[in-house]
Homo-oligomer: A and B are copies of this chain.
Amino acid sequence: MKSEKISELTTKRLSVYLRCLQTLNRSGIHTISSRAMAEQFHLNSAQIRKDLAYFGEFGVRGVGYQVSQLAQHLTKILGLNLLHHVCICGAGNLGRALCDYAGFNTEGFKIVALFDQDPRKIGTLSRSGVPVYDIKKLKQVVRKEDVDIAVVTVPADAAQKVVDMICDTGVKAILNFAPVRLRVNSAVKLKTVDLKVSLESLSYYLSNPASPVAAHPPE
């Protein structure tokens, strides 16, 4: 397996392929060609072949891909064969929603802790039973619960301070929802999801209906 640097767009597409293969698997389909897969899920067959060839030879000429075998490979490539323990910093609306959101707290990911500085929230549980800890106990709880991914849902003006605290715990991967550009040291991977950017992209489309923006895989 190659270990060169691949783009986030590629990892996103691998995630999409994995969803498609899981759907096929549930439908009892054992093999599929890149062309049939592209047609069924509105993807690009040449792109599928290129992306998958990068990680090795998964297809058999004239037969296609073995659905469950390829799904297993992609699961492993994406590191989803391991269970990641996730904490969420910021027990406000968004933090609690993500905590209880079935699309988030599932396969490969387990949300084990919420953090906040509000004494009224500390000591409570989310709907799904995740405890809210004092943000001052971040390092201690991260170690005890073996957290390896932190999600940031605090307001923009508090985000850098919280990210610094997370870096100090040794956690190497941060998903940030605060609409602000943050600094981390080079050993930490920071990914920012600015939900408003998606709305602005739609706003652009509505203002330029004659020039539809090019299609991209889901984010």
By a beta-carbon cutoff of 8 Å, the part of chain A in contact with chain B is: 3-9, 11-12, 14-16, 18-20, 41-42, 77-80, 82, 84, 86, 93-94, 96-98, 100-104, 106, 108-109, 127, 148-149, 155-156, 172-175, 177-179, 181, 183, 189, 191-216, 218-219
Contact = CB atoms under 8 A, between A and B. Distances in A.
A9 B209 CA distance: 17
A78 B206 CA distance: 9
What's the number of copies of this chain in the assembled complex?
2
Nearest to A95: B97
Given A7-B216, A82-B207, A213-B6, A201 B196 contact: no
A78 B14 CA distance: 30
Given A103-B195, A197-B219, A213 B84 contact: no
Contact of A206 (B97, B102, B148, B216): B148
Contact of A12 (B201, B208, B211): B201
Chain A facing B: main interface SS: mixed
Given A3-B211, A5-B214, A211-B6, A219 B194 contact: yes
Contact of A100 (B93, B189, B194): B93
13 contacts: A5-B211, A11-B201, A11-B204, A11-B213, A19-B179, A20-B181, A42-B181, A106-B196, A149-B203, A173-B205, A175-B202, A192-B219, A193-B193
A60 B170 CA distance: 45
Most chain B CB inside 10 Å of its own CB: which residue of A77, A97, A183: A97
Nearest to A202: B173
Given A79-B207, A202-B149, A195 B104 contact: yes
